[in-house]
Amino acid sequence: MTGSTRRGQVLAYGAGNLSVNLLSQAFATFATFYYVDHLGVDPSLIGVAMVIHGIVNAVLNPLVGHVSDRTRTRWGRRVPYIAIGMAPLAAAFTMIWIPLVDGATPRFWYFLIAVLVYDVLFVVVVLNYVALFPEMFTTIAERAAAASWRQMFAIVGMIVGVAAAPLLYGAIGWAAMGVSFGVVALACFALSLRGSAERTRVERERFGFLTALRHTLANRAFVTYVTGSFLLQLTFALLQAGIPFFTKYALGEADSANTVILGAVFVTAIPMVYVWSRVTTRLGPRRAILAAIVVYGVALVPFLIVGTLALAAVTGAAVGVGIAGMLVLLEILLAEVIDDDERRTGARREGMYFGMNGFIVRWAVSLQAVIITVVLARSGYRNGAAVQPDSVVTGVRLMMGLLPLAVLAVAFGCFLLYPLREGASPRASVAVREPGSGRPSS
């Protein structure tokens, strides 16, 4: 395979990450708002639906991953699931924004059913999509380059899913917004298929589900990795959820200032993912993630003292440098864990490892909600009050600038203990099957 062909494959495969983040960010940010504020469904009912959504999504991850690992077809293990599931996934996402029933209670049941269908399809398509990464890119340099492009597409998807949605539903309506996002997601998934490839020969996984689960959780490298990953995701979730409180109470700014700060984070992160890919190639994944944690932690400190929107935006830009490293390196480190597991078991189990990682780290969002609730309650926050006591400002600043440092210190310890120190991939070269063909390419 020539260099230009390889670059084209990297770009095509990476485009799928735009779909992943476009769908997930738009759903997470606006689905509850749409059904509660615009359709008039009881907030407590939507809350129940979202709890069910979280549990189902978490449980599906390892189950789907295990089934995928054990799948054998002439087209591979992962590609058939993506090819068959991507159009139904786009349609399921679209139907969330086109309620076909009237009345608050019928719309709750419609929302619950639509979300559960969306959950199943999202996990099937996305887990198989991300599980291709360690198999397609087998050296540190390849993985660093591919991860940087994937994360650039991911950040664009986040920005479009969060920032463009209000512009679209305000101009053309919620249903048209859903259709637009569904079409874009389907197009990017289809493009990613053109860049997807699988190994021609993969040892069939010999474990049953419970045995596979036990082997995964007994893997020291995975346990240290997923603990550190969970903690890093927790700090990111705290940052995203805490910025509206910081903007309103610490800065005294309007809601529009949230876009300025988050925009500074993401706009800075886009070019920095390339920088971190170079750092990773030079230092190796373990030392690079330790460096990223330090940069990220130092960048958070100014949230304790900044008092203007301009300085908060500068702080956000600095935070984006560290977050870019986190985005690039976490999937590279997990790919190393999977390589090590193959040496131990003789089987490639990307599905189970990505599935268990998804199961564990998604609870970071739930823990973030608990932390914010506790901080606000202990600091004297009064719901609906026009003016909050100074203790609330102090609590929000500590939640943004000090609490994450403590979490990052533990994450730093996890990756310090991460046992895989060798920078090179155990597989120097791997035969892969071009999509739609039965022949390997080099």
Domain boundaries, the chain: 8-196, 208-420
Nearest to 280 by CA among 316, 248, 324: 324
CA separation for the pair 391, 62 (Å, rounded) = 43
Phi/psi of residue 399, nearest 5 degrees: -65, -30
Beta carbons of 155 and 266 less than 8 angstroms apart: yes
pLDDT at 362: 83
- Asked if domains 8-196 and 208-420 share a fold, the reply is yes
Give the per-residue pLDDT at 439. 37
In whole angstroms, give the CA distance from residue 291 to residue 299: 12
pLDDT at 277: 93
Give the chain's residues under pLDDT 70: 1-5, 199-206, 384-386, 422-442
Pairing verdict, β 432-433 and 198-199: antiparallel
Q: Where do runs of H (alpha helix) occur along 173-219?
A: 174-194, 209-217
pLDDT of residue 371: 87
- Residue 349's SS3 state is coil
How far from chain centre, in Å, is Cα 138?
Answer: 22
Query: What pLDDT shows up at residue 384?
Result: 65
**For residue 441, what pLDDT is reported?**
36
What would the CATH number be for the domain defined by 8-196? 1.20.1250.20
Report the alpha-carbon distance of residue 198 to residue 131 in Å, rounded: 10
For residue 386, count other CB atoms closer than 10 A to its CB. Answer: 5
Spatial contact of 117 and 49, defined as CB atoms under 8 Å apart: no
* Pairing assessment for the beta strands 440-441 and 198-199 based on DSSP bridges: unpaired
State how far the Cα of 395 lies from the Cα of 30, in Å rounded to an integer.
Answer: 27
Global pTM reads 0.84
Q: Where are the beta strands (DSSP E) in 367-438?
A: 432-433
**pLDDT value of position 435:** 41
Give the model's pLDDT for residue 232: 95
Between CA 310 and CA 251 the distance in angstroms is 10
Q: CA separation (Å) from 308 to 123, 265, 314, 369?
A: 41, 16, 10, 26
208-420 has which fold?
A: Growth Hormone; Chain: A; (1.20.1250)
Under 8 Å between Cβ of 231 and 407: yes
pLDDT, position 425 = 44
